Amino acid sequence: MDLSIIVVNYNTCEMTMKTLESVTQSETEYQYEVLLVDNASSDQSVPRIQAAFPNFTVIANKQNLGFAKANNIGIERACGTYILLLNSDVVIQPDTLQIMVAFMENHPGAGASGCKVILPDGKLDQACHRGFPTPFASLTYMLKLDRLFPNRHSFGRYHLSFLDLDSTHSVDALVGAFMLVRRSVIEQAGLLDEDYFMYGEDLDWCYQIQQAGWEICYHPATQVVHYKGASSKKKRYKLIWEFHRAMLLFYKKNMARKYSFPVTAAVYTAIILKCALSMAGNLFKIPKKSVS
């Protein structure tokens, strides 16, 4: 088996079906399998997906274990030389699998790779092309200096805005919505950190892969569409908290030892303040009409 595609589903049956359908339309010479890991959905996802895609492996968890752990369950069951993390709200192109696996075959130093990820409005999902959130990179991003000086290396580290989005190059991190990783790299760098529930695990994984000596590559020869943000509902407070908890966890695990106590205290304070402001702002957010 050349490629194992891991898709985690949680109450997004309709969108997940579109994702899986896009996979079946792939035109590739590589052999692939699909493992759908369901986190105890209550929308009849499991029987509907099993009926629609009988050749795919469906793993039904009895509770919502989170994104990282669910992916790990799929990875441990997978047989492929390459592992693709594919979000249940991403639609791939017919050539995507062929192009990305061929890229990895031809670039043995690449531990993980990702393609260009586009939002429904045609804009880039910036999470597919980013640097590690060091205190300085985060500060310049918060102050929007990267927008004022997009070509300045020192101010554009957060999203690597000074690099050409239409050329292949190394980046610090990719987005877990579409991330292709060598099995041999996973055996060396480890699985996703299950302390992350649904945010930050992709960033952390890229950090561990890079620390193990592998290159992280952005290869925009193909693109996928990521339908994140299509929900019409307000964000649940648990999601807001999990997002900011992931920021705290990533900094504590990978960054804190590199910086002085005042810097670390400032980072923690900024994250907690941002979380509080996000929760307060969510109270007054007016839901938009749903996007079909």
Mean pLDDT to the nearest integer, 120-129: 94
Q: What is the pLDDT of residue 152?
A: 82
Mean pLDDT to the nearest integer, 119-128: 94
Question: Rounded to an integer, what distance in angstroms lies between the CA atom of residue 286 and that of residue 6?
Answer: 34
Structure tokens at 45: 């996802």
Question: Rounded to an integer, what distance in angstroms lies between the CA atom of residue 233 and that of residue 148?
Answer: 32
Q: Which of 248, 238, 250, 290 is nearest to 272 (CA)?
A: 248
pTM of the shown model: 0.92
**Long-range contacts of 242-247, Cβ-Cβ distance < 8 Å, separation of 24 or more:** 242/197, 242/198, 242/199, 243/199, 243/200, 243/275, 243/278, 244/271, 244/272, 244/274, 244/275, 244/278, 245/197, 245/199, 246/196, 246/197, 246/199, 246/200, 246/201, 246/203, 247/133, 247/200, 247/271
281 confidence band (pLDDT: 50, 70, 90): confident
Q: What is the pLDDT of residue 43?
A: 93
Q: How far apart, in Å, are the Cα atoms of 127 and each of 119, 132, 176, 256?
A: 11, 11, 9, 22
291 confidence band (pLDDT: 50, 70, 90): very low
pLDDT tens digit sequence for 148-166: 887 788 898 999 989 999 9
pLDDT tens digit sequence for 211-267: 999 999 999 999 999 998 543 344 578 889 999 999 999 999 999 999 999 999 999
Mean pLDDT to the nearest integer, 105-112: 98
Q: What is the pLDDT of residue 231?
A: 34
Q: What is the pLDDT of residue 232?
A: 31
105 confidence band (pLDDT: 50, 70, 90): very high
Q: What is the pLDDT of residue 239?
A: 87
Better-scored residue on pLDDT, 287 or 15: 15
Half-sphere exposure of 76 (CA within 13 A, CB side): 11
| Partners of 124 in beta bridges | 118
* Mean pLDDT, all residues of the chain: 92
Q: What is the pLDDT of residue 20?
A: 98
pLDDT tens digit sequence for 171-199: 999 999 999 999 999 999 999 999 999 89
Asked if residues 159 and 146 have their Cβ atoms less than 8 Å apart, the reply is yes
Question: Rounded to an integer, what distance in angstroms lies between the CA atom of residue 134 and that of residue 270?
Answer: 13
b/e map 221-232, b = 16+ CB within 10 Å? ebbbbbbeeeee
Asked if residues 105 and 98 have their Cβ atoms less than 8 Å apart, the reply is no
**Greatest mean pLDDT among 143-147, 203-207, 276-280:** 203-207
b/e map 193-215, b = 16+ CB within 10 Å? bebbbbbbbbbbbbbbbbeeebb
DSSP 135-175: HHHHHHHHTTHHHHSTT-TTT-TTTTTTS-TTS-EE-SB--
Asked if residues 291 and 228 have their Cβ atoms less than 8 Å apart, the reply is no
Lowest mean pLDDT among 71-85, 118-132, 167-181, 276-290: 276-290
Q: Give the whole-number percent of the chain exceeding pLDDT 70.
A: 95
